[in-house]
């Protein structure tokens, strides 16, 4: 994947190995308080490339590929799916931030990256000064709230969690079709216009790599098992996210059992607010201007806590 287009000109390129032997690929740039930016599925670190130049004027950006995605290590999964548990991915992020000299930082995560981000805030509250989960509700809440309609709309939660090698085999037969169908289904305009040619090159390259297809299936298998179990145990123990939290979401995200996103996050956080962006699921690529307008005041308000 070395020939892929560089969407972060002027940003440094690094690889950091964790204690678990996972090599994390990342880009760094900007100045100011550290901000960790995490991507989701089926994408890579490049989701932030439209926002990065402006964010870099305010923050020191750390933009990795999660384990199993993009150009980071993609180990084989294990029977209990703990290799791709969000707790393990959060430990990767903590390692690289400490290696870069950022023991305390802000973090924003989209989609699966949002799940890594809130687990990081729960497991390491001393490290996370502010949290921005983008277009998600917690994993346990997703499974609790499955209805006939949500099961159809969010079929991938069940499909990707099927035992190896069923989803890997089916996706491998038509990787471009599967990728484009997924992106179109979740984007506001239901086409590929939000995604630049350069970003699509990164996403297609990943989808053609069987090791990475396996990795994101393991990510969802973890979501159906260990991640959900950890979420439920955390709530049962009375633990909450204590740092200031901004839940960003697209305007399409409907209220359901238990209310809208803010109502749900209030059960997980002691200090949370929400902002809606006119967008489908991919806020940073569909509407970077309004996403920045919602995000920057929150970052500025919490920069002093880093």
| CA-wise closest residue to 46 among 21, 30, 70 | 70
Residue 92 falls in the annotated catalytic set: no
| Residue 88 near residue 20, CB atoms below 8 Å | yes
- Tell me the C-alpha to C-alpha distance, in Å, between residue 126 and each of 63, 121, 129, 161, 306: 21, 8, 8, 32, 10
| Residue 112 near residue 106, CB atoms below 8 Å | no
**Rounded CA separation 220/161 (Å):** 5
**Rounded CA separation 118/234 (Å):** 12
Spot the catalytic one: 65, 111, 135, 227.
111
| 304 CB burial (10 A radius; 0-12, 13-18, 19+) | exposed
Which H or E element spans position 120? helix 112-123
SS (H, E, C) 277-295: ECCCCCHHHHCHHHHHHHH
| Residue 22 near residue 72, CB atoms below 8 Å | yes
* Per-position b or e across 40-53, b if 16+ CB within 10 A of its CB: bbbbbbbbbbbbbb
Residue 105's CB is within 10 A of a number of other CB atoms, namely 24
Spot the catalytic one: 45, 214, 249, 281.
281
Residue 111 falls in the annotated catalytic set: yes
Listed in sequence order, the residues at least 6 apart from 144 whose beta carbon sits closer than 8 Å to its beta carbon are 257, 258
Catalytic residues: 111, 281
């Amino acid at each position: 994947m070395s020939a892929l287009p560089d969407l972060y000109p002027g940003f440094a390129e690094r690889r950091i190995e964790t204690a678990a032997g996972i090599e994390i690929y990342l880009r760094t740039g900007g100045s100011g308080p550290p901000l960790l930016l995490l991507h989701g599925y089926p994408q890579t670190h490049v989701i932030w490339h439209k926002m990065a130049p402006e964010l870099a004027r305010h923050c020191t950006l750390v933009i990795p590929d999660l384990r199993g995605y993009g150009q980071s290590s993609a180990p084989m999964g294990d029977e209990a799916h703990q290799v791709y548990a969000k707790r393990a991915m959060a430990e990767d992020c903590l390692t690289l931030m400490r290696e870069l000299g950022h023991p305390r930082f802000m973090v924003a995560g989209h989609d699966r990256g949002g799940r890594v981000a809130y687990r990081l805030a729960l497991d390491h509250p001393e490290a996370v000064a502010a949290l921005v989960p983008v277009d998600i509700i917690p994993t346990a809440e997703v499974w609790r709230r499955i209805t006939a309609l949500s099961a159809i709309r969010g079929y991938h939660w069940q499909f990707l969690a099927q035992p190896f090698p069923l989803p890997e085999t089916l996706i491998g037969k038509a990787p471009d079709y599967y990728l484009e169908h997924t992106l179109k289904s979740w984007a506001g305009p239901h086409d590929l216009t939000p995604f630049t040619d350069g970003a699509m090159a990164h996403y297609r390259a990943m989808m053609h790599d069987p090791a990475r297809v396996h990795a994101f299936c393991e990510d969802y298998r973890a979501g159906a098992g260990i991640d959900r179990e950890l979420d439920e145990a955390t709530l049962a123990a009375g633990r909450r996210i204590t740092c200031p939290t901004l839940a960003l979401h697209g305007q399409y995200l409907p209220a359901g059992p238990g209310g809208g996103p803010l109502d749900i996050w209030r059960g997980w956080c002691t200090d949370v607010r929400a902002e809606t962006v006119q967008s489908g699921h991919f806020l940073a690529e569909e509407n970077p201007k309004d996403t920045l307008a919602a995000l920057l005041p929150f970052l500025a308000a919490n920069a002093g806590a880093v």
